[in-house]
Amino acid sequence: MTTSALAAPATGDGTEAPATTSERSPGDQNRAGWLFATPFLALYVLFLIGPVLIGLVISLFNTTTVKSGLGEWVGFSNYADVLSSGDFWDSMWHSVLFTLLTTPLLVLLPLLFAILASRVVRNRWFFRLAFFAPYVVPSSAVCLIFAFMYTPETGLVTNAFGWLGLTAPNFLGSTSGAWFAVVLLTLWWTFGFNFILYTAGIQEISQEVYEAASIDGAGPWQQIRSITIPLLRPTMSLVLILQVLASLKVFDQIYILLAGGPNYSTRPVIEYIYDTGFTSYRGGYAAAATMVYFVILVAVSTGWLLVRSRRTTSSGNTPAREEGAGA
């Protein structure tokens, strides 16, 4: 990092010098550059890096959330408490379970529908509208509507089960019913986002490839299997990691619709941190839980980056989208 930073002005001079007028010195660029970057850097350090450091410090004290001040130094005992807490690991498992339940659905179904949509010529705006519109709806409005549809006996989803000859579970009162309710809601709500990413990925595949395949006599199914899906790999990998990270960070739906219930059986990590930090006022403990969770999330995204960069360097082709970003 430091060496490349020192090399920067030199390369700049080499390429820029001929066109630069005499009064514009590298010193001028240096000052102007920092002036342009400063507003961003100030906010970035204060409000993105700041909370990480504050969380790190607070997690080592028995801070309470009700009064200001750090409280007493307790070393790593908050971490020991968090790591040995059954409630913390339960909530961690709920976030992971939610991820396991939603990720396959939200990675594969939008892929299927984006591929189907690419075969349709007319009325594409209608599919885009129907699938993406839920994504702009606030979480609480989604929960209001779904809570109404999940009402026992009178709700639309409850009745739909009856029409299919099935008995509806108690959506908001039983654990398995609650998971079903929240997964269905999430599928409806966020499906469109992944659908749009896949649609954009499909549009980058050259039309000529399909034409060549079609001249060679490849049917639609063969074209999808041997052209669309292999060329969509980079998009699928992007959608997968975005979905895993988003699902691990679940809070809104479960908190609003179920309040983590019944009896904390669906409470995700963020709600656990919220409960310990803001309801029981155990700031230091909640900060330690925050840091453990933070490290897990960063590890997941770093792991994905490592796997992806190894795969791209070994196969020798960078994903097309990234070349576009660099161009």
Partner 1 sequence: MTVTAVALDADEDRSRTGGRPDEGSKAFNRLAATCLTLFALIWLVPFAWALITSLRPDSEIAAHPTRPWSSGLSLDAYRSAWDASPIGWWYVNSFIISTLAVIFTVIVCSMAAFGLVHLKFRGRYAVFGLILAGLMLPTEALVLPQFMEFRALHLLGTYWAIILPAVALPVAVFVFHAFIKGIPIALIEAARIDGASWWRIYYQVVMPLCRPAISAVAILTFITSWNAFLWPLLVLTQTKSQTIPVGLSGLVGGAAIQYAETMASAVLGILPLLAVFLLLQRQITQGVANTGIK
Q: Which of 25, 100, 220, 309 lies at the binding interface for partner 1 (CB under 8 A)?
A: 220
Q: Which of 219, 307, 310, 317 lies at the binding interface for partner 1 (CB under 8 A)?
A: 219
Rounded CA-CA distance 125/233 in Å is 25
Q: 179 or 286: whose CB is closer to partner 1?
A: 286
Shortest distance, CB of residue 84 to partner 1, whole angstroms?
A: 20
Q: Is 273 in the site for partner 1 (CB under 8 A)?
A: yes
Range 225-244, binding partner 1 (CB under 8 A): 238, 241-242
Range 21-40, binding partner 1 (CB under 8 A): 21, 24, 26, 29-37, 39-40
Shortest distance, CB of residue 17 to partner 1, whole angstroms?
A: 11
| Rg of the chain over all Cα atoms, to the nearest angstrom | 26
Q: Is 245 in the site for partner 1 (CB under 8 A)?
A: yes
Shortest distance, CB of residue 276 to partner 1, whole angstroms?
A: 9
SS3 labels along the chain: CHHHHHHHHHHHHHHHHHHCCCCCCHHHHHHHHHHHHHHHHHHHHHHHHHHHHHHHHHCCECCCCCCCCCCCECCCHHHHHHHCCHHHHHHHHHHHHHHHHHHHHHHHHHHHHHHHHHCCCCCHHHHHHHHHHHHHCCHHHHHHHHHHHCCCCCCHHHHHHHHCCCCCCCCCCCHHHHHHHHHHHHHHHHHHHHHHHHHHHHHCCCHHHHHHHHHCCCCHHHHHHHHHHHHCHHHHHHHHHHHHHHHHCCCHHHHHHHCCCCCCCCCCHHHHHHHHHHHCCCHHHHHHHHHHHHHHHHHHHHHHHHHHHHHHHHHCCCCHHHHHHHC
Q: Is 174 in the site for partner 1 (CB under 8 A)?
A: no
Q: Is 96 in the site for partner 1 (CB under 8 A)?
A: no
Shortest distance, CB of residue 78 to partner 1, whole angstroms?
A: 12
Rounded CA-CA distance 86/90 in Å is 6
Q: 26 or 265: whose CB is closer to partner 1?
A: 26
Q: 31 or 233: whose CB is closer to partner 1?
A: 31
Q: Is 261 in the site for partner 1 (CB under 8 A)?
A: no
Shortest distance, CB of residue 166 to partner 1, whole angstroms?
A: 16
Q: 169 or 243: whose CB is closer to partner 1?
A: 243
Q: 54 or 100: whose CB is closer to partner 1?
A: 54
Residues in the interface with partner 1 (CB under 8 A) total 137
Q: Which of 196, 265, 281, 311 lies at the binding interface for partner 1 (CB under 8 A)?
A: 196
Shortest distance, CB of residue 316 to partner 1, whole angstroms?
A: 19
Q: Which of 161, 264, 281, 294 lies at the binding interface for partner 1 (CB under 8 A)?
A: 294
Range 137-156, binding partner 1 (CB under 8 A): 137-149, 151, 153-156
The pair of structure tokens assigned to 103 is 């990720």
Shortest distance, CB of residue 148 to partner 1, whole angstroms?
A: 6
Q: Which of 88, 150, 191, 272 lies at the binding interface for partner 1 (CB under 8 A)?
A: 191
Sorted by sequence, the CB contacts under 8 Å of residue 168 that are 6+ apart come out as 152, 157, 158, 161, 162, 177
Q: Is 43 in the site for partner 1 (CB under 8 A)?
A: yes
